[in-house]
């Protein structure tokens, strides 16, 4: 088939859309960047794409709570299309603010009509904005398409409300796609390895199909070897640890 088609949506305050576009282009996809209003006005057809991406940033200034305004906007004005997109078997990726949007819109984990989300992303335990590089371990029991074949990665975080919390009965162990770890892969490592205090060191989750994936760290910020903070000391690899996430998505689309 032709190149996988990816739609990256932006809103006022989004600031990682360019990096998300670059990451998918490096993975071999054809990428369109569109404002959320273009989707709402149906100027951009979501169903022309196989992958939908909500990137990081501070959409609408994170008023009320991080990602809440954009989540409500998508849910109220675009909710049926979003659910159909998911039910059609396509891929959805939410990074940082995008993860917050997916959770607070009830897309991940899926919230049925009349129910309220049972998990959330809330203020960091440290009480401050955390901007640092972290180690992630991949849950080998997870069906997550984006992390297939991966064991770990080293990527940055940049958030003030990244603590995963709530009723963990809403998810199962296989829904946990990535954990915060230390450099040795220890999942019980505390702060600052777990930068926000997330329960069970959860850094990202997926749905039961593995097609919807949300995570707080930024794999799109480590696509090239020279983006590693110590590349001059350790030597630069050709590609960064985050690239396989995007390659896996593109590979999966090409295989359907």
* pLDDT average, residue stretch 32-61: 96
Q: What is the mean pLDDT of the chain?
A: 96
Given this model, what pLDDT does residue 161 score?
97
49-82 confidence digits (pLDDT tens) = 999 999 999 999 998 899 999 999 999 998 899 9
Q: How far apart are CA 241 and CA 43, in angstroms?
A: 35
Q: What percent of the chain has pLDDT over 70?
A: 100
The whole-angstrom separation of Cα 9 and Cα 153 is: 25
Cα radius of gyration (the chain): 17
Residue 221 has pLDDT above 80, yes or no: yes
Q: Coil, helix or strand for 106?
A: coil
Rounded to whole angstroms, the Cα distance separating 24 from 53 reads: 10
Residue of 126, 93, 56 whose CA lies nearest to 204 = 93
Tell me how far the alpha carbon of residue 127 is from its chain's centroid.
22
Q: What is the mean pLDDT of residues 81-103?
A: 96
On the question of pLDDT at 1 being above 60, the answer is no
131 among known catalytic residues: no
Decide: helix, strand or coil at residue 56. Answer: coil
Is the pTM higher than 0.95? The answer reads yes
Of the pLDDT bands very low, low, confident and very high (cuts 50, 70, 90), residue 117 is confident
User: Residue 148 has what pLDDT?
Assistant: 98
To the query of whether residue 96 is one of the catalytic residues in this protein, the response is yes
Output the CA angle 182-56-101, nearest 5 degrees. Answer: 100
Answer CATH for 5-254 from 3.30.2350.10, 3.40.50.880, 3.30.70.3460, 3.40.630.10:
3.40.50.880
Marked catalytic residue, from 19, 44, 73, 96: 96
**44, 193, 218, 228: which is the annotated catalytic residue?**
218
Q: What is the pLDDT of residue 215?
A: 98
Asked whether the predicted pLDDT for residue 256 surpasses 80, the reply is no
Rounded Cα–Cα distance for residues 116 and 121 (Å): 14
Structural element, H or E, at residue 69? helix 68-87
Q: Which residue in the list 159, 220, 222, 228 is annotated as catalytic?
A: 220
How does pLDDT run across 182-202, given as a tens digit for each residue? 999 999 999 999 999 999 999
Q: Give yes or no: 218 in active site.
A: yes
Mean pLDDT over 73-101 rounds to: 95
């Amino acid at each position: 088939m032709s190149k996988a088609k990816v739609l990256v949506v932006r809103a006022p305050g989004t600031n990682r859309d360019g990096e998300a576009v670059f990451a998918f282009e490096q993975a071999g996809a054809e990428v369109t960047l569109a404002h959320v209003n273009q989707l709402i006005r149906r100027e951009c057809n979501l169903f022309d794409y196989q992958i939908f991406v909500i990137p990081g940033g501070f959409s609408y200034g994170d008023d009320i709570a991080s990602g809440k305004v954009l989540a409500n906007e998508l849910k109220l004005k675009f909710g049926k299309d979003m659910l159909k997109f998911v039910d059609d078997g396509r891929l959805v990726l939410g990074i940082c603010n995008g993860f917050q949007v997916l959770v607070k819109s009830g897309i991940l984990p899926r919230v049925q009509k009349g129910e309220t989300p049972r998990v959330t992303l809330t203020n960091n335990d440290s009480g401050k904005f955390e901007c640092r590089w972290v180690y992630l371990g991949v849950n080998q029991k997870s069906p997550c398409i984006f992390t297939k074949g991966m064991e770990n990665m080293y990527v940055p975080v940049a958030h003030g409300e990244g603590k995963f919390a709530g009723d963990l009965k809403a998810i199962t162990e296989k829904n946990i796609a990535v954990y915060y770890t230390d450099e040795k892969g220890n999942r019980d490592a505390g702060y600052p390895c777990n930068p926000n205090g997330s329960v069970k060191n959860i850094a990202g989750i997926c749905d039961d199909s593995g097609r919807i994936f949300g995570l707080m760290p930024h794999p799109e910020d480590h696509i090239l070897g020279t983006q590693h903070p110590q590349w001059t000391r350790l030597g630069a690899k050709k590609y960064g640890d985050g690239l396989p996430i995007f390659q896996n998505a593109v590979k999966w689309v090409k295989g359907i």
